[in-house]
Structures are given as C-alpha cells and as structure tokens.
Amino acid sequence: MKDKTGLVVALVLFACLIVVPPLLPTFYTGLVTLILIFAIFAMSLDILQGYTGLASLGHAAFLGTAAYVVAILNVKVFKGPHFTVELIAGILSAAFVAAIFGLFVLRSRQTYFLMILLASSMMLWGIAFKWRSLTGGDDGLPGIARPNLSAIHLNLANTTHFYYFVLLFFLIAIILMYLVVRSSFGHTLMGIRESETRMQALGYNIWLQKYLAFIVSSVFAGLAGVLLVYYNGFVSPSELHLVLSAEALIMVILGGSGTLFGPAIGAAIITLIKNFVSGYTEHWMIILGAIYIATVVLAPQGVYRLIKQLMRK
C-alpha cells in the first residue's frame, strides 16, 4: 500500500513538472529549472551525508570544477558549445578531483575529514580566484553559450526547451541515485553509517566503500555543475565557495538526510527563499536560519519525513 501511495505521489509530481512551462511565466519556469539543478546537487551530497554518514563542507568543489571545465572548453577552446564533449569532460573532471581528494581525506576521522575537505575545496576556489588568464579571476567567465541540439529539435537558448532538457537529466539522475542507494552497495553504505566496526568485522573494506561513494556523489554534483553553468551562461569562484557547500548541507538536513528525495525538497525551499525573500531584504540568511531552526525543533528528521508522517494520518 505504501509503495502504491509513493508511486501515485511520484506520478502526480512528475505530471506537475511536465506542465510547468505552459502554465507558468518564463521567470517561474527558469526558477523551477534552477530548483531541479540544485536538487541534483543536494541529492548527490545526500549519498555522502545521509547514506554514508560523511558530512561535507567541500561539495561545491565538484560542482565548481565541472562548471569551470565546461566554461573553459566553451569559451576558450571551442569558441562555442560542444555539448557531448563538455558534458563528459565536466563530469569526469569532478570525478577526477574526488578521486584525488578521496585518497587522503577519507583516511581521516569525521571532524578532520570535514576540515581537510573544506581546505581542499577552498584551495580550488583560490586557484579559480587567482588564475585570471584561465578562469577570469574574480570577474569569472561570461559568454557561455547553450548548445543547439537540432538533431532532437531542442534549442537550449529557449527557456522552455532548456527546462525540459534539465528535467530529463533530473529524472535520469534521480533514477540512477535511487538505484545506487537501493543496491547492495547502498545498503553497505548505510551499514557503515550505522557502525563501521561491525561492517569491518563482516569483512568489508570500509575505506574502499567510502571512496566509491565519494566518487559516485561527485559524478552527480558534476552533472549539476554542467547544467548550472549552461543555466547561468557564466561561472565565477562562487561556484567553488564554502557558502555553496554550506547551502547544500542545509538543503540535505532541511529536507531529510538519508531520504534521497528529501534534499530535493530542501533545494526547493532554499532556492525559493533566496530568490524571493532576498528581493525584499538583504538579511534573508536570518530568515533562512530561523526556518532551519524551526525545522530542527519541529521536524528533526526533515521535511520529507514530516510529510510522510502527515500522509499516514
């Protein structure tokens, strides 16, 4: 019965997403597009935070790396969009950075893992900020063109076309991440989260499992980075900054850590607050903090689990 209810809810949500462009003005279509991109980013962090038990304040390193690789290829190398190459290069670059970082950060305990990964991420931010000839420095790289996928009749310069393009990747990402967390590998990660000692006694290589989770999460963060740079048409060091990593962590906790779908709700809440409340006050972070505290007090397991509890009543 629960599975049927969940399926019905998923189908209703999908139907709502399908009809966004015909029903909403262009601005709101663009806003939902941004929510979908950050939902991918937040869910990718949930693989680490929620399923493996590794809180991260450096997750923006993977999104930002992919964004910069796409921007450099688009603006400086190809002088225009080459979608397939840029997509693959962006995702692989994020995975490569994770593979390098993971070799040393995952050998540390949780607190040290958090700090070392944060320092590594800020190192990339520093490179992007200082290497002006390649990255544009603090001015960033503007003029990133969206691909024109004429073979499938999609001109991504069109807001509606780009929305459905992002929606397609969102659905692919959420299905793949769902398969990951429901697989034996996903159950192993949850076992590690609950008790590393017990899983080690059962013969699991804890470091290797964490390392693989680290890389898998970076792949989806890299995908979010590719989509975000096409959305903005611009990239700057802020895509690598601590603030973005912290926002992603709040999205996960707010929506519901270890639920996969919860962080997507968290992404929607944070994105809406940033875009609407910030238009009325520059102190929108205070409002965000108040909402976060209220959620921790009233729904410590996250908004997603709260919604599920209310649906059962």
pLDDT digits (tens, 9 = 90+) for 180-238: 999 999 999 999 999 888 999 998 999 999 999 999 999 999 999 999 999 999 999 99
pLDDT at 176 over 60: yes
Total Cβ atoms within 10 A of residue 281 = 10
pLDDT at position 6 is: 57
Residue with tokens 């991504």: 156
Q: Span 147-152, mean pLDDT? A: 79
pLDDT at 5 over 70: no
pLDDT digits (tens, 9 = 90+) for 264-283: 999 999 999 888 877 776 77
pTM of the model: 0.94
Q: Span 277-298, mean pLDDT? A: 76
Q: Span 136-162, mean pLDDT? A: 87
Residue 247, amino acid: E
pLDDT at position 173 is: 96
Contact (CB, 8 A) for 106 and 47: no
| Separation of alpha carbons 252 and 294, rounded Å | 15
pLDDT at 148 over 70: yes
pLDDT at position 1 is: 45
Position 313 confidence tier, pLDDT thresholds 50, 70, 90: low
pLDDT at 73 over 70: yes
How distant, in Å, are the alpha carbons of 11, 36, 289 from that of 249?
Answer: 27, 16, 13
Q: Where are the domains of the chain?
A: 28-241
pLDDT at 3 over 80: no
Position 160 confidence tier, pLDDT thresholds 50, 70, 90: very high
In our burial notation (b when 16+ CB lie closer than 10 A, e otherwise), range 250-278 reads bbbbbbbbbbbbbbbbbbbbbbeebbebe
Beta strand spans in the chain (E): 141-142, 148-149, 154-155, 234-235
pLDDT at 167 over 90: yes
Average pLDDT, the chain: 89
Find, among 224, 246, 218, 219, the residue nearest to 67 by Cα.
224
Q: Span 72-77, mean pLDDT? A: 92
pLDDT at position 92 is: 98
pLDDT at position 207 is: 93
H or E segment to which residue 173 belongs: helix 159-182
